[in-house]
Amino acid sequence: MANWIEDMFGVKKPVIAMCHLGAFPGDPYYDKERGMQEVIALARKDLNALQKGGVDGVMFSNEFSMPYLTRVHTVTIACMARLIGELLPEIHLPFGVNVLWDPAASLDLAAATGAKFVREIFSGVYASDFGLWNPDCGEIIRHQHAIGAEDVKLLFNIVPEAAKYLAERDIADIARSTVFNHRPDAICVSGLIAGSQTDPSSLRKVKDAVPDIPVFSNTGVRLENVEVQLSIADGAVVGTTFKYDEKFENHVDERRVRDFMDRVKSLRG
């Protein structure tokens, strides 16, 4: 297996915590009265709680830019770059970005901020809540190299949330062909929506199909299932679990983060 995970995060089976950002200018739920300063202040609070709680990495996403776009407006990328730029002196962990759901925009943001990795839907054709989802991986990877972001690690989500592959294909076959055709740095396997448990059997199928590629459990990892999930996966992306009362709309509860990470560290032995 590629050792970039341990090189980047300094541990086996890293936990990448989501720093979910509030709605931005142009988003339907943006709070115009409180403005960008409020979005930044809340992101800072969540970031600090995650870092103090002991996570291994952080990923910033425009989680509340709902309904999501597959071609994100420039204002969103600009706002995310401003926010991350203001927080950079306080970010003490490897960080990544995810501009939902636009892989080229995610790479642009990574190039602008120095993010080490991006997670996105890079390939496949899906019937989704966002319409027909049809990213052009060849163009995206060429764009990555054109903007000098070739060292940014690419986490391919091959089971997009709120979507299904347009043709019936076994998840193991999707994993194998994705690795052969696109050379991802890691594969992410998800549940239906944020906070929904990743099916362990699907996770196992993918890991068995591509044993030499890091595989992340991408949604729904929580205290009661983390042992099972990390017995299969090479790491986890965790968001909703870290929030007060485990509710997607809430902010990060440092105590929940600490309890979860204490359990993960005990599993690492």
Q: Is 48 exposed, middle or buried (0-12, 13-18, 19+ CB in 10 A)?
A: middle
> pLDDT-based confidence at 255, cuts 50/70/90?
very high
Domain ranges within the chain, ordered by starting residue = 12-268
User: Is residue 269 pLDDT above 90, yes or no?
Assistant: no
Which tens digit of pLDDT belongs to each residue from 62-80? 999 999 999 999 999 999 9
Higher pLDDT, 209 or 2: 209
Q: Which CATH class is domain 12-268?
A: alpha beta
Supply the pLDDT for residue 1. 43
Q: Give the phi and the psi of residue 58 in degrees, each rounded to 5.
A: -135, 140
> pLDDT-based confidence at 99, cuts 50/70/90?
very high
Q: Which two tokens stand for residue 152?
A: 């940014």
Which tens digit of pLDDT belongs to each residue from 143-194? 999 999 999 999 999 988 888 899 989 999 999 999 999 999 999 999 866 7
**How far apart (Å, rounded) are the C-alpha atoms in residues 97 and 117?**
7
Higher pLDDT, 195 or 235: 235
